[in-house]
Structure 1
Amino acid sequence: MVLKTQGEEQEKAMKEAEEALKTLERGGLIFGGEAISIVDISANCLSIWLEVFGEAIGTKFIDSEKFPLICSWIEEFTSIDLVKESFPPRDKLLAYHKRLL
């Protein structure tokens, strides 16, 4: 909804997204381990995708001060070669989402 709305509706959607991230942060991340798990794959949207979406609309979804555990997981997850290879080029992803706005 953050990408599809503007003004007050977008602010409301941002607050809802932040509350969901706070819940995840408070609950402690269960991601990680010796190999990529289904949980990591499911949480993939937290990695490069939210950063690019935020940049496209001029905001930041995940702040390392508010969400240190999530940011730590993102850093570890996106440093895995297999994961890096699976992402589309960041510049193309950003250009695509900017065109949608």
Structure 2
Amino acid sequence: MSQDAFAGRAASLIAGFNDPASCKCPAAETLRWIEAAEACVLMRIDQLRLIGGLPRHEPPLTVEERLSRLQRLLRLWAEGCLFVIDESLFADILKRRPKKA
């Protein structure tokens, strides 16, 4: 996926997100959004050259922390800042969703 495609995917995810606090969206919808956002992040991780590894020793992020970090990261990507990374978020996603061989 090209960098422009990542920016577009991030923008569509941000535009499609309904804030649970403001619209009382069902938790299932929020979890589906998180799944889609994490899939986008995993695709981006595959394209980045991460040197030095990720902080896998940190405790898992809560759902609220993941949601907040995903929103912030995707918003930055949608605005064109495609080389911004969140090491703790990346490590958390990789720990919870190991790559299938």
With normalisation by structure 1, the TM-score equals 0.36
Of structures 1 and 2, the larger Rg is shown by 1
Give the TM-score normalised by structure 2. 0.36
More RCO (CA 8 Å, sep 6+): 2
